[in-house]
Amino acid sequence: MVHLTTSFLLLACLLSGTVSITVPTPNVLSVPIQKKVSGKTRSLKALLARDLGRFNSDAAAAVGEAPATNEDDTYVTATKVGTQTFDLIVDTGSSNTWVGSGTKYKPGSTSTNTGKSFAVTYGSGSVSGTEFTDTVVVGGLTVTKQSIGDGTTSSGFQGVDGIIGFGPLTLTEDTVSGSATVPTVMNNLFSQGTISTQVLGVSFAPETGSDIDDTNGELTLGGTDSTKFTGSISFTPITTVAPYNEFWGITVSSTTYNGVQVGGSSQAIVDTGTTLIFIPTAAYDAFLSASGGTTDASTGFATWTKAPTANFAFKINGVSFALTPSQFTIPAAQLANFGLPTNKIFGWIVDGGSDAGDINFIIGQKFLENFYAVFDTTNGRVGFATR
């Protein structure tokens, strides 16, 4: 989920998932993540509105891995704060960690009330309350004196307990009174010597059949899990173009369908908290024209009467990352979950708008479910590999 900064509003959608604990190599701990439904998104129209609202106004060192639960539109991971365990949205589009939208926070012996207020506005919700510091355990790794927001007031987060933010430090600016920024979980894991590099590996997976809450993802904190991808990881540097450089922003050199370019060079955000794949209007229109699709008037989603037959792809730093038609369209078994008719085919790729200054290109969960993603703070880059 993307946090609204002081310079502009964010428009996007939350995805969550659960990850199971594994030990792929010595000193590597895996965190399962689970995918679940967050908020009121039991229709594609509501899901689209939530996503759009996200960004747009108009061993010395261990590696931790956590399970992520796939809850159909949000990935969550079980995170221990003090003596309590919370299901928190895994979000690379924001950076604060807070609890309380579901299970209420109960300060204990490891918690300290800093006396500061905190508030974060997201395109799809908001939260405010009091800042505490407390001990946090995620993926078997412990962080002491982590900034935690006690969300006494929140909206837009039904079905989850809060957010664990994995975005850049700058996204915490002006969120806590009297503090310019507050260190993220990854910042503190690194500064406290628990991990040797600020690298987050993310493995998501699509739902199968009509399921909506499988534990089919994994987070790796402090490194990558080679059992979750094949081949090598292709990295690209974080863009310097505003406002994309405030997030995990990258340059997509081209967008293609059936090998033919439908979109030119553009800036994009890679966001685990956004469910869908948003591309600029010009690229979206060209994609629909090339694939024989239209925009469904009732939902705003791409739709076809006959299944597309070619791949859709992004070229990033010289490497093409392609989605097959079955990967960029909604599985037939999932249509009933959104109240959709079965006589049409709907897609996960939607119109992000024509104004790049409002962030109109977001690479969300439905892309990430088909690739392994790496968010590398230490080297200022994002990487992808075949899942």
Active site residues per annotation: 91, 271
- Total count of residues recorded for the chain: 387
Pairing between β-strand 312-316 and β-strand 254-257 as defined by DSSP bridges? antiparallel
Cα–Cα separations (whole angstroms), residue 19 to 50, 88, 115, 282, 305: 24, 12, 34, 37, 36
State the virtual CA torsion across 111, 173, 220, 245 in degrees, nearest 10. Answer: 180
DSSP letter at 93?
A: T
**Using CA atoms, how far apart are residues 374 and 1, in angstroms rounded to an integer?**
17
**One-letter identity of residue 203:** S
- Cβ-Cβ contacts under 8 Å for 157 (sequence gap 6 or more): 38, 39, 89, 101, 102, 125, 127, 163
Q: Which amino acid is at 5?
A: T
- What single string gives the DSSP state of each residue in 314-381? EEETTEEEEE-HHHHB--GGGGGGGT--TTSEEBSEEE--S-GGG---EE-HHHHTTEEEEEETTTTE
Q: Is 42 exposed, middle or buried (0-12, 13-18, 19+ CB in 10 A)?
A: middle
Q: Which amino acid is at 304?
A: W
Q: Rounded distance, CA 279 to CA 82, Å? A: 41
Distance from C-alpha of 254 to C-alpha of 202, rounded to nearest angstrom: 24
- Coil, helix or strand for 30? coil
Residue type, 171: L
Q: If you search the block for the tokens 């977001």, which residue do you land on?
A: 362
For 20, phi and psi rounded to 5 degrees? -95, 150
Could you tell me the two tokens for 29? 């701990």
Q: Is 249 helix (H, G, I), strand (E, B) or coil?
A: strand
